[in-house]
Amino acid sequence: MSVRYLTNFDVNHLPTEQVDFLIVGSGIAGLYTANRAGAMGARVLVLTKRTVEDTCTERAQGGIAAAIGAADSPLLHFDDTLVAGADLCNREAVEVLVNEGPERVGELVRLGTRFDRMGSELALGREGAHSQNRILHASGDATGAEIQRVLSLQVRQEQKIPVLERHFVVDLLVRDGQCYGLLAYDEAHRRLCVFWSRVVVMASGGAGQLYAYTTNPEVVTGDGIAAAYRAGADVMDLEFIQFHPTVLALRNGPPFLISEAVRGEGGILRNALGDRFMPRYHPDAELAPRDVVTRGILSEMELTGESRVYLDVTHLPTEQVYARFPNITRTCLSLGINLTKEGIPVAPAAHYVMGGIKTDLQGATSINGLYACGEVACAGAHGANRLASNSLLDGLVFGARIVERVLGSGAGRGRANPPVTFSNSGLKPEKPINLVALRRQLQKMMLERVGPVREADGLGRALGFFDGQRFLTGFAAEEPETFEIRNLLTVGELVAEAALARTESRGGHYRRDYPQPEERWRKHIIFRRH
């Protein structure tokens, strides 16, 4: 589904800007990296496709994991991450994550993040597959919004870093293995523009909009993964898609995440018959790894013939539920659900991409000058299934490492010295198609064929679907909606291709026709476009 460029252009005829440090994305990974680079004196620019706050970070509920408790240690956090990752984690990446995490979280506190406290101590919650209470949270269940607030304030008011909203990254400008900048679409002026930079940091998030039912906002369309792949970067582990087990499932309501912390506080999963079922699937019951809980829920839905199960907190004190989960409580009440008196209808939904642009432990990709951090990146820390609340930590830790590597070596200063020109002219004018219908068709197909339960026949049919859309690559994309669907098609095909190749079940990848993990598959699938 991929050609080198999405559109026709000639940089000699486009407005251009030069910076030291160009960051794509305004979630925790992008803004934290921008803040660190700005503090070290770099000339930084942030691009974001919608508004600064339109991110997965802003919607994150549960919290951020860090081994700061008196009974906790990075070693325990390390072990929990490996277990959740289903024996596919890069151990060195996990060591970096858990050992540097507490310092990064401490920095968030120093910047003004108001995490919840019990007296003078930080309050620490428990989530699935964690052996200790180590989840910091803010305003009960609005952790991401608080972190987004603090980092946005730091970048815009303290560091005075410009953030260009409604700038869609179309393609990376790469020559002979060196990234010189990128081509973007300025939505306000409806024109292409060019940004030159010695350092480009992709922090654009995942690809949740591949699926009809997802916790991700509409902007999360795999743009960074697709652009990097088109430019020749290695992408890895894309078959591993995490479905969050408990997302509000109303027949006519929007998907809304019901935080894993609800189960951490004692919430119980019951099927449509009222039976608690998770103890049958795992010794840790509701606090098993997310892939286990997801498959348990799907099995119960199939057994009962229902499209949802119920998360029950009616046995918990009302005051505890209201204080710990004010946002969830308020949202449920607005939809007619009093969660202190009745079960919350939930079902799994696409949540997180464990794979992404392959990086080393300093965020460097296979293309010189191109770095990646956050969900768009894959250093292997999450293996086949991310441990709950490690995602926000990932953006902090590897974002900081990028800045230290680049600015410590001096590579992020000075002009990019691009080649004479970049251009493309081989695409036909944009072909009118029903973008809304195609996107819905793709999302429905991905959920049915490349969802939490897969098999060869369905994956083959999915690849046939992508073959049927390949004609689009001969036409120029000229607007954000077209860029998005083309990126979704590219990433979706890679996910399906990797899922078909991996003939085993591991973590977030479950094959009905190959239900067991295989030692020979304890390895990674890496794609590179030639």
Per-residue model confidence as pLDDT tens digits over 327-371: 999 999 999 999 999 999 999 999 999 999 999 999 999 999 999
pLDDT tens per residue across span 6-51: 999 999 999 999 999 999 999 999 999 999 999 999 999 999 999 9
Residue 37, helix vs strand vs coil: helix
Residue 142 placed within a domain: no
Helix segments in 112-185, DSSP class H = 143-153
pLDDT band at 252; cut points 50, 70, 90? confident
Rounded to the nearest 10°, the torsion over CA 430, 434, 440, 442 is -40
Domain that residue 330 falls in: 245-348
415 has pLDDT over 90: no
Residue 74 placed within a domain: no
What average pLDDT does this structure show over 442-455? 98
Q: What is the DSSP letter of 363?
A: S
Closest to 451 in 3D by CA, of 288, 207, 213: 213
Residue with tokens 């894959």: 378
Give 251 or 260, the one with higher predicted confidence. Answer: 260
One domain, residues 252 and 213: no
One domain, residues 179 and 324: no
Closest to 71 in 3D by CA, of 109, 126, 108, 119: 126
Angle at which helices 435-449 and 456-468 pack, to 10 degrees? 160
One domain, residues 225 and 359: yes
Residue 366 placed within a domain: yes
Residue 114 placed within a domain: no
One domain, residues 43 and 176: yes
One domain, residues 219 and 272: no
Residues 6+ apart with CB under 8 A from 14: 183, 191, 192, 193, 194
One domain, residues 252 and 319: yes
Last residue of a domain, one of 322, 348, 374: 348
The arrangement of strands across the sheet holding 377-378 comes to 377-378, 356-358, 235-236, 526-527
Told to judge if 290 belongs to the known catalytic residues of this protein, a careful annotator would answer: yes
The per-residue pLDDT for 408 is: 84
Distance of CA 332 to the CA centre of its chain: 25
pLDDT band at 251; cut points 50, 70, 90? confident
Helix (H) or strand (E) holding 80: helix 74-84
Residue 268, helix vs strand vs coil: strand
- The proportion of the chain whose per-residue pLDDT surpasses 70, expressed as a percent, equals 98
What average pLDDT does this structure show over 316-323? 96
One domain, residues 222 and 293: no
pLDDT band at 442; cut points 50, 70, 90? very high
Residue 222 Ramachandran class (φ > 0 left, ψ -120 to 50 alpha, else beta): left
The per-residue pLDDT for 431 is: 85
Torsions phi, psi for 446 (to 5 deg): -65, -40
Residue 448 placed within a domain: no
One domain, residues 170 and 225: yes
pLDDT tens per residue across span 475-526: 999 999 999 999 999 999 999 999 999 999 999 999 999 999 999 999 999 9
Residue 160 Ramachandran class (φ > 0 left, ψ -120 to 50 alpha, else beta): left
Side-chain-side CA neighbours of residue 131 (13 Å): 14
Of 76-80, 158-162, 223-227, the one with minimum mean pLDDT is 158-162
pLDDT band at 418; cut points 50, 70, 90? confident
1 has pLDDT over 60: no
The per-residue pLDDT for 379 is: 98
Helix (H) or strand (E) holding 95: helix 91-111
Helix segments in 364-479, DSSP class H = 391-409, 435-449, 456-468
Exactly one of 36, 126, 263, 290 is catalytic; name it: 290
Residues 6+ apart with CB under 8 A from 409: none
Question: What CATH number is attached to the domain comprising 319?
Answer: 3.90.700.10
Give the separation between CA 485 and CA 487, rounded to whole angstroms: 5
Calculate the average pLDDT of the chain: 96
The per-residue pLDDT for 412 is: 60
* Residue 99: Cβ within 10 Å count: 16
Residue 95 placed within a domain: no
User: Are 176 and 368 within 8 A, CB to CB?
Assistant: no
The per-residue pLDDT for 254 is: 81
The per-residue pLDDT for 2 is: 66
Closest to 252 in 3D by CA, of 307, 296, 305, 207: 307
One domain, residues 32 and 172: yes
Last residue of a domain, one of 362, 383, 409: 409
One domain, residues 340 and 211: no
Give the separation between CA 530 and CA 528, rounded to whole angstroms: 6
Residue 467 placed within a domain: no
- Model confidence, pTM: 0.97
Closest to 369 in 3D by CA, of 180, 195, 228, 175: 180
Give the separation between CA 233 and CA 514, rounded to whole angstroms: 30
- The proportion of the chain whose per-residue pLDDT surpasses 90, expressed as a percent, equals 95
Single-letter amino acid code for the residue at 387: L
User: Helix count (H) and strand count (E) of the chain?
Assistant: 14, 22
Question: What CATH number is attached to the domain comprising 382?
Answer: 3.50.50.60
Identify any residues that bridge with 244 across adjacent strands, giving them in sequence order: 349
One domain, residues 40 and 167: yes
Total count of domains within the chain: 2
pLDDT tens per residue across span 199-210: 999 999 999 999
Last residue of a domain, one of 378, 394, 409: 409
Give the separation between CA 30 and CA 35, rounded to whole angstroms: 9
413 has pLDDT over 80: no
316 has pLDDT over 70: yes
pLDDT band at 414; cut points 50, 70, 90? low
Residue 434 placed within a domain: no
Strand 344-353 to 309-312 pairing: antiparallel
Closest to 377 in 3D by CA, of 19, 42, 33, 51: 33
Residue 410, helix vs strand vs coil: coil
Give the separation between CA 389 and CA 65, rounded to whole angstroms: 5
pLDDT band at 473; cut points 50, 70, 90? very high
One domain, residues 162 and 218: yes
Identify any residues that bridge with 357 across adjacent strands, giving them in sequence order: 235, 377
